[in-house]
Amino acid sequence: MKAVVVTGHKQGYKVQDVSDPKPEKGELVVKVDRAALCYRDTLQLKGFYPRMKYPVILGHEVVGTVEQVGEDVTQFKEGDKVISLLYAPDGECEYCRAGEEAYCHHRLGYSEELDGFFAEKAKLKVTSVIKVPSGASDEGAVLVPCVTGMVYRGLTRAKLKKGETILVTGASGGVGIHAIQVAKAMGAKVIGVTTSQEKADAVGKFADHVIVGKEFSSEAKKISDINVIVDTVGTPTLEEDLKSLWMGGRIVQIGNVDPSAPFNLKLGYVILKDIEIIGHASATKKDAEGALKLTAEGKINPVIAGTLPLEEVDKGYELLKDKSKVGKVLLKP
């Protein structure tokens, strides 16, 4: 089969033929229906993910159709439509048993220790697999593990209450445009912040208010008390986040555009305003199911910047970096 393979540390990737995966005990093989490109891939290619084995198939966001199941797999059968968490937990430890498998000591990451999903077929550990309900499209389902389910868990961790006001930075990005919709579906009022006037219209389709510009705090505070911020950008927006929040506010920190850039935190903002900064990375099965339900109900509408075949993955990354585009970039092998 064809696959996008990372050959070594900071070596880039190649589209090449590799052997088809075979499911072992506790595994299944899916035909990849859609895979999604992610900013994280670019960080992986820059060498920020020390757990990567090489060669490894790139890509950690997938929806597929089960083709083969390995020994002892009873929960899934051929023809099932499924997604996968970004990692495979062991399914046995105290965290896994408590439904907090994101904290499993023995978790293995797809596109890290395990092959990822930019391929015609992919092998999944059954501990990471979630069935897609009818009513959810491939485009909606593929966004769950790294985008909508991840945001769903972030807002759950931030104890978002109905009627609270949330601000989303990087609102036109692949995560931002969907974070707005997850927050709305969870009952929040949403302000989207974007840096470009051209993309304000796209953000305005989903958000209640749109702010254009890098210094958004004074305008945000005029609209409402800001209770929660989903920051999909990182160090460039964090200072304005802290200024924007009303007392008791929470920041769900998802983005980190430059992992090497430190942030000079003024503790006064955090202490005197009772602010919580919640670092946040992934979803558990429970969150993925929550986001899949909202997707199947039509409350989250996937915004897709483009869908390309595997061979055009280069073009996909150009789209991902193209600041005039809104939404996620998908591969359809």
Contacting residues toward Zn ion, per CB under 5 A: 38, 40, 89-90, 93, 96, 104, 146
Residues 6+ away with beta carbon under 8 Å from 33: 63, 64, 65, 81, 138, 142, 332
CB of 11: closest distance to Zn ion in angstroms?
A: 21
The number of beta carbons lying within 10 Å of the beta carbon of residue 167 is 34
CB-nearer residue toward Zn ion: 40 or 209: 40
CB-nearer residue toward Zn ion: 78 or 92: 92
CB of 241: closest distance to Zn ion in angstroms?
A: 22
Residue that has been written with the tokens 């070596």 in this structure? 11
CB-nearer residue toward Zn ion: 96 or 167: 96
Please state, in angstroms and as integers, the Cα–Cα distance from residue 177 to each residue in 167, 200, 325, following that order. Answer: 12, 11, 11
CB-nearer residue toward Zn ion: 90 or 289: 90
How far, in Å, CA of 141 to CA of 146, rounded?
10
CB-nearer residue toward Zn ion: 90 or 239: 90
CB of 106: closest distance to Zn ion in angstroms?
A: 6
CB of 107: closest distance to Zn ion in angstroms?
A: 7
CB of 179: closest distance to Zn ion in angstroms?
A: 13
Among candidates 175, 117, 122, which has minimal Cα distance to 146? 175
Amino acid in position 254: I
CB of 181: closest distance to Zn ion in angstroms?
A: 17
CB of 150: closest distance to Zn ion in angstroms?
A: 8
Q: Do 275 and 298 meet the contact criterion of CB atoms below 8 Å apart?
A: no
DSSP string, 93-130: SHHHHTT-GGG-TT-EEBTTTB--SSBSEEEEEGGGEE
How far, in Å, CA of 7 to CA of 182, rounded?
36
Please state, in angstroms and as integers, the Cα–Cα distance from residue 214 to each residue in 168, 197, 219, 296, 327, following that order. Answer: 13, 12, 11, 35, 20
CB-nearer residue toward Zn ion: 92 or 322: 92
How far, in Å, CA of 221 to CA of 243, rounded?
9
CB-nearer residue toward Zn ion: 93 or 296: 93
